[in-house]
């Protein structure tokens, strides 16, 4: 029986070989594969949803929390979204081979940059079976070979979706190992994969803070990561009342178990009286548990005490912490102290305030008069995302096609020699 170490070596060798073949794959060929994958998903809806229901039943019996069950769940609407993301990626320009910044130098040579694939990317993820398709599609279009290792709670869903990917590759003559899914749920695979520097060029973890932290600690290859999503919405003193209510409510309640959900609401003291009574009533009617600072608690008997821990918590649940601040500076300082670098939003009609917020907040996405729920590769026009990076290197924010590439210098001459 093949050991876990041997399995990872086999996966790595397959991936490295298939990455070479992807260098010669045409844009037309890659797009055709994406189109085929979409057709396979549409054709095999019943099989996919049946496998997903088995995962859901098994996970419920094992006490998986509601936020993770929501991430795990597939239905026809979500399959439609997956198919649409494939079509968007198909329609996007192929970044591979793109030449930019070409300039003549005094010597007569031309120096520029060419966009190239990273090579082999390992994606380690929990719960979300849609990542199987998003990661496959983005890696394929950007010329990267992918090794996918999903969570045990989604193994049946992932295998059903991977069958669609594999068939889509085979149908256009691409190596089926351009995308490989680890079929075993043995966790030792992750430890071996993140140390496989001979075969893997980058690791992308998508999951809870514990998973990402463990991978970052043990990895011997570069990691593109975000630890967690403590997102803030700040309602400024010059916020439009209705915009503030709509943006804050949507940021929290659109979906609870996602990394772009607002977890802390910051409100300028001068905006409280005209905005908060209606907004608090909406949250309570929706079933959102509210935890607030001392001033916030005075607004409703149903608001619980927010502890120091609350400001540093990604709830991924119907819970919101609220803090009243006396200035935009106080809001920014709170974000700097408690934020995770993911996404922050300001609601204000004051141009100077919005410019200040955009300039001074250090997160990977900063929004003006828009819900934090928009922090998403699909919404940003990236087709899909393979994750949201809160790092400052090598890519930041939603990671789409360009984020899965690098650039090399190219030099064009005509027999030029250096003096």
Q: Please state the domain extents for the chain.
A: 4-224+399-412, 231-374
Q: What is the pTM of this model?
A: 0.82
Q: What is the pLDDT of residue 126?
A: 86
Q: What is the pLDDT of residue 94?
A: 95
d(CA 413, CA 365): 41
Q: By three-state DSSP, how is residue 112 classified?
A: strand
Q: What is the pLDDT of residue 237?
A: 97
Could you tell me the CA-to-CA distances from 417 to 105, 107, 108, 154 in Å, in that order? 13, 9, 10, 58
Task: Determine the CATH number of domain 4-224+399-412.
Answer: 3.40.605.10
Q: What is the pLDDT of residue 383?
A: 66
Question: What one-character-per-residue DSSP string does 257-301 give?
Answer: SSTTSEEEEEEEGGGHHHHHHHHHHHHHHHT-EEEE-HHHHTT-T
Low-confidence ranges of the chain (pLDDT < 70): 1, 227, 383
Q: What is the pLDDT of residue 240?
A: 97
Could you tell me the CA-to-CA distances from 209 to 32, 94, 229, 314, 340 in Å, in that order? 37, 33, 9, 9, 11
Beta strands 388-389; 343-347: pairing state: unpaired
Q: By three-state DSSP, how is residue 47 classified?
A: helix
Query: What's the fold here for domain 231-374?
Result: Aldehyde Dehydrogenase; Chain A, domain 2 (3.40.309)
Beta strands 262-268; 231-235: pairing state: parallel
């Amino acid at each position: 029986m093949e050991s876990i170490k041997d399995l990872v070596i086999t996966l790595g060798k397959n991936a490295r070989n298939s990455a070479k073949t992807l260098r010669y794959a045409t844009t037309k060929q890659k797009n055709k594969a994406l189109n085929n994958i979409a057709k396979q998903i549409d054709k095999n809806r019943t099989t996919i949803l049946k496998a997903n229901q088995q995962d859901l039943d098994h996970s419920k019996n094992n006490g998986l929390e509601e936020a993770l069950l929501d991430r795990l769940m597939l239905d026809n609407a979500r399959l439609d979204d997956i198919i649409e993301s494939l079509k968007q990626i198909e329609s996007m320009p192929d970044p591979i081979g793109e030449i930019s910044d070409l300039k003549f130098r005094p010597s007569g040579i031309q120096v520029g940059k060419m966009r190239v694939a990273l090579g082999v990317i390992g994606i380690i993820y929990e719960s979300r079976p849609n990542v199987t398709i998003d990661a496959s599609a983005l890696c394929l279009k950007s010329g990267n070979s992918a090794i996918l290792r999903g969570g045990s709670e989604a193994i049946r869903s992932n295998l059903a979706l991977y069958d669609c990917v594999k068939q889509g590759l085979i149908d256009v003559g691409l190596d089926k190992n351009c995308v490989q899914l680890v079929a075993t749920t043995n966790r030792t695979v992750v430890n071996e994969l993140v140390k496989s520097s001979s075969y893997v060029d980058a690791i992308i973890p998508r999951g809870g803070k514990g998973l990402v932290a463990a991978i970052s600690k043990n990895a011997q290859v570069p990691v593109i990561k975000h630890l967690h999503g403590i997102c803030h919405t700040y309602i400024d003193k010059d916020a439009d009342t209705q915009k503030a209510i709509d943006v804050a409510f949507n940021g929290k309640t659109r979906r609870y178990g996602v990394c772009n959900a607002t977890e802390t609401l910051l409100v300028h003291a001068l905006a409280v009286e005209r905005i908060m009574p209606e907004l608090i009533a909406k949250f309570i009617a929706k079933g959102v548990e509210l935890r607030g600072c001392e001033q916030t608690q005075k607004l409703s008997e149903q608001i619980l005490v927010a502890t120091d821990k609350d400001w540093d918590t990604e709830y991924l649940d119907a819970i919101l912490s609220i803090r009243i601040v006396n200035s935009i500076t106080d809001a920014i300082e709170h974000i700097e102290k408690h934020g995770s670098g993911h996404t922050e939003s300001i609601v204000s009609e004051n141009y100077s305030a919005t410019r200040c917020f955009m300039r001074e907040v250090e997160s990977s996405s900063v929004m003006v008069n828009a819900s934090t729920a928009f922090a998403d590769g699909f919404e940003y026009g990236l087709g899909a995302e393979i994750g949201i990076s809160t790092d400052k290197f090598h890519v930041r924010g939603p990671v789409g096609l360009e984020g899965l590439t690098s650039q090399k210098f190219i030099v064009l001459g005509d027999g030029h020699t250096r003096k």
